[in-house]
Chains A and B, each alone.
Chain A
Amino acid sequence: MAGRRATLKAIDWMAFAERVPPNQRAMFNALKTRSDALSAKLTSLPEKPPAIDWVYYKTAVAKAGMVDEFEKKYSALKVPEPVDTQTDKITAQEQEAAKSAAEYVQASKSRIVQYEKQLEKFRTMIPFDQMTFEDLNEVFPETKLDKEKYPYWPHKPIEDL
């Protein structure tokens, strides 16, 4: 009987639910219902089957030796535990997920750094009423008038005015 009972880890479904992004909620609900169904089924089954009353059967059954034979074979019988084929896959999935999550976190961090840089640019900007046009073009390069492409005033197509 040893090695059979991999103890079930208590899962905090509330905390889990918080971390699920809204677009994966349906999958989460499906998982939860499946888990609940499984645990209900598990609790409905007894851990050990009731013991067979051999004494009664020995007195009741007329055939000699049959009950003894049954008893011997029954107690000698070892029900094989079901083989666990999926846990390795799960562990592999977990590692892959860890890797992709690490990559995602990395990318996310670099994105945050970019955003922070832009935020800094905005925060340290001189106020608009103290800017010259040169300063404006520095901070917002898209406002720079292209004097080569449109050499005549207003230096941009009339539609953009």
Chain B
Amino acid sequence: MLSRLGLRAAPAALKSLAPSLSVGVLHASRPFHTGQHCLAPLPPLPEKGGQVRHGLIPEEFFQFLYPKTGVTGPYMLGTGLLFYLLSKEIYIVNHETIAGACTVGVLIYIVKKYGGDVAAFADRLNEEKVAKALAVKNDSINHLESIIEQEKKEQWRAEGRSYLFDAKRNNIAMLLETNYRERLLTVYNEVKKRLDYQIAVQQLTRRKEQDHMINWIEKNVAQSITAQQEKESIAKCISDLKMLSKSPQAAV
């Protein structure tokens, strides 16, 4: 009974299993690659694959049968199918069955134990690649931004060129002014030097004249003093001295 149920349900299910098994079903009226090129980036691949129950049967199968047969439907279908195959000897149990069962058991054990680690390792490899690429991209972005900053700074620097020319003009003005003042000062100094020279010359001549006159007068006076006058003047000096010497003695 169950096997007949499975038998009747199988083809109907198979025919309408469009979402899962549409590979072999190709309608000629559905052409491919005729639309416009979709230039938008494709949506990213989903992170996780489709949900699968017991590692083999996709979840959509269970959802598909749920409205008609409830939760136990697919299990009944599976069990019935299995018993049908075994009882009708469509599937024969022999040595290979045992070997296959052991292999499958070992494989399932290995996958359950180490699957996570292998997946993490592979993910890490991929992440490293992506991280490297991202680092390159970030470096490029930073580099470009800093270059743009520098260019703007150089532009700002170039704006300051008026300072340079103001400084140069100032220098020129200062030079001219200094030169002019120096010239004035030179004129003044020269005129003053000449006037002072005149005065100095005058004073010098006057002094020389005085000295010469004094010398000449002295010489002439000394010449004019005859010997007789000298004797007379010495005698007079002596008599004056005697007189003078007398009066102080009286006073003391």
**In the complex, residue of chain B having the shortest beta-carbon distance to the beta carbon of A39:** B174
User: Known contacts A6-B173, A90-B172; is A98 also within 8 Å of B161 by CB?
Assistant: yes
Q: Is B178 an interface residue (CB 8 A)?
A: yes
Q: Does B147 interact with chain A (Cβ within 8 Å)?
A: yes
With a cutoff of 8 Å between Cβ atoms, the chain B residues found around residue A38 in the complex are: 171, 174-175, 178
Are A123 and B169 in contact, with the CB atoms below 8 A?
no
The answer to whether B173 and A8 have CB atoms under 8 Å apart is: yes
Asked whether A128 lies within 8 Å of B134 as measured between CB atoms, the reply is yes
Q: Is B65 an interface residue (CB 8 A)?
A: no
Could you tell me if B188 and A123 are in contact, using CB atoms closer than 8 angstroms? no
Interface size on B, residues (CB 8 A): 58
**A residues less than 8 Å from B195 (CB atoms):** 52, 57, 61, 67, 70
Beta-carbon nearest neighbor of A107 in chain B: B151
Verify A41–B133 contact, CB threshold 8 A.
no
Distance to closest chain A CB from B138 (angstroms): 9
Residue B194 lies at the interface, judged by CB distance under 8 Å to chain A: yes
Interface check A129, CB cutoff 8 A: yes
Judged by DSSP, the binding face of B is helix
With CB as the reference atom, state the residue of chain A lying closest to B45.
A130
Interface residues of A in 90-142 (CB under 8 A from B): 90-91, 93-94, 97-98, 101, 104-105, 108-109, 111-112, 115-116, 118-119, 122-123, 125-126, 128-130, 132, 135
Complex Cα distance, B148 from A116, in Å, reads: 8
B184 → chain A, closest Cβ, in Å?
5
A126 to B156 alpha-carbon distance, docked (Å): 35
**Chain A at the B interface: SS class:** helix
What residue of chain A has the Cβ atom nearest to residue B138's Cβ? A122
- The residue of chain A having its C-beta at the shortest distance from the C-beta of B175 within the complex is A38
Q: How far is the CA of A90 from the CA of B173 in the complex (A)?
A: 12
Q: Which residue of B lies closest to A98 (CB)?
A: B161
B124 interface residue (CB < 8 Å to A): no
Q: Could you tell me if A49 and B188 are in contact, using CB atoms closer than 8 angstroms?
A: yes
- Determine if A87 and B167 form an interchain contact, defined as CB atoms under 8 angstroms apart: no
Q: How far is the CA of A55 from the CA of B251 in the complex (A)?
A: 59
Report the nearest A residue to B129, measured CB to CB. Answer: A128
Judging by beta carbons under 8 Å apart, are A123 and B174 in contact? Answer: no
Q: List 15 A-B contacts (CB under 8 A).
A: A12-B163, A15-B163, A35-B170, A42-B181, A45-B178, A45-B185, A49-B185, A60-B199, A79-B180, A82-B183, A93-B165, A94-B161, A101-B161, A112-B151, A119-B145
A residues lining the B interface (CB < 8 Å): 4-6, 8-9, 11-12, 15-16, 18-21, 31, 34-35, 38-39, 41-42, 45-50, 52, 57, 60-63, 66-67, 70, 74, 77, 79-82, 84, 86-87, 90-91, 93-94, 97-98, 101, 104-105, 108-109, 111-112, 115-116, 118-119, 122-123, 125-126, 128-130, 132, 135
Other A-B contacts than A4-B180, A38-B175, A101-B161, 17 sampled, CB-CB below 8 A, are: A9-B170, A19-B159, A42-B177, A42-B178, A49-B187, A60-B202, A67-B195, A79-B187, A81-B180, A82-B176, A94-B165, A119-B148, A122-B144, A126-B41, A128-B134, A130-B44, A132-B42
